[in-house]
Amino acid sequence: MTRTSDEVTEFDRHTAVTSLGDGRYRTEVDPGWDVIGGAPNGGYLMAILVRALLEETGAPDPISVTGHFPARTPAGEAEVTTEVVHAGKRLTIARAVLVSDERPRVLLTGVFGDLDEVHGPSGGEAQEPALPPREECVSIPDGMDAPPITDRFDLGIDPSCIGWALGQPSGEAYAGAWLRFADGREPDTLSLVTYADAMFPAVLNAVPEPSWVPTLEMTVHVRDRPSPGWLKTVFTTRHLDDGRLEEDGEIWDSEGRLVALSRQYALVRG
């Protein structure tokens, strides 16, 4: 689907914030990003707080953002309170809380600035992760009870990681997919925060039964501005110990550049 630049896309409409003054913003949490009924995706919620902080700080890019989730966030009206802790020459540290029904639902602390002003040496050994070509990847498998958030994306899921949804987990805690917004909205540094949480938990391929995997903490490091086009996203869990796990994500853009790293601490019940 193509889109002209003056249309407001789903992602932008559903993460919109309106200033109330004094660092406070009104927003409307949309149920279209639920991962199960009544539970919006954490990366979607974080993007709302990041948008408020970008507006409050005037910075173009979230550089590092960390979210915590004190309570489930209901759909509907909410307020984001922002606080600029330190406005440096190049980087600003700020935090925000999303409150609804007088209860804190999401906390976010981050570093904001202009990625064009950060420069230094390059190096490292890491290769772009391999994914099957998009035409060999799949969208939501038939018969899967897919949550609302899956409608927000065009999905090209690596067929090797969909076994869990069919009762046949692969045994490897891995989830990989080509992703882009279903309405053609191009990726930017703000939306990377949502992309970093858009896939099912990789650990579902390493436990016998599908399980709820609550996130204790999620951090996204934005490493570069993404080019237009599909994003390649790869998530893995290396250590699952007594129900505690990390999920590490990499997002690469259509030009083969690493644009974000993510890590979550999550739990899974036996």
Q: Shortest distance, CB of residue 18 to a copy of itself, whole angstroms?
A: 24
Instruction: Please identify, among the stretches 37-45, 130-138, 178-186, 200-208, the one whose residues bind a copy of itself according to the rule CB under 8 A.
Output: 200-208
Place of tokens 């003056």: 6
167 contacts a copy of itself (rule: CB under 8 A): no
93 contacts a copy of itself (rule: CB under 8 A): yes
Characterise 217 by phi-psi region: left (phi > 0), alpha (psi -120 to 50), beta (else).
beta
Q: Which is nearer to a copy of itself, 4 or 122 (CB)?
A: 122
Rounded Cα–Cα distance for residues 62 and 218 (Å)? 14
Tokens representing 269 are: 């019940």
- Among 1, 4, 6, 121, contact with a copy of itself (rule: CB under 8 A): 121
For residue 152, the 8-state DSSP code is: G
Rounded Cα–Cα distance for residues 263 and 250 (Å)? 9
For residue 138, the 8-state DSSP code is: B
Q: Shortest distance, CB of residue 105 to a copy of itself, whole angstroms?
A: 9
For residue 116, the 8-state DSSP code is: G
- Among 2, 4, 5, 122, contact with a copy of itself (rule: CB under 8 A): 122
DSSP three-state, residue 231: strand
Return the ∠ at Cα 203 (arms to 200 and 206), rounded to 5°: 130
207 contacts a copy of itself (rule: CB under 8 A): yes
Q: Shortest distance, CB of residue 78 to a copy of itself, whole angstroms?
A: 16
- Among 14, 51, 223, 232, contact with a copy of itself (rule: CB under 8 A): 223
Instruction: Please identify, among the stretches 5-13, 19-27, 132-140, 236-244, the one whose residues bind a copy of itself according to the rule CB under 8 A.
Output: 236-244
Rounded Cα–Cα distance for residues 41 and 212 (Å)? 13
Instruction: Please identify, among the stretches 23-31, 39-47, 130-138, 213-221, the one whose residues bind a copy of itself according to the rule CB under 8 A.
Output: 213-221
227 contacts a copy of itself (rule: CB under 8 A): no
Q: Which of 171, 175, 268, 141 is nearest to 215 (CA)?
A: 268
Integer CA distances (angstroms), 74 to 117, 148, 194, in order: 38, 14, 18
Q: Shortest distance, CB of residue 52 to a copy of itself, whole angstroms?
A: 17
Which residues form the interface with a copy of itself (CB under 8 A)?
63-64, 66, 68, 70-71, 85-86, 88, 91, 93, 95, 97, 104, 107, 109-111, 118-126, 172-173, 206-208, 216-217, 219, 221, 223-224, 237-246, 257-258, 261, 263, 265, 267-270
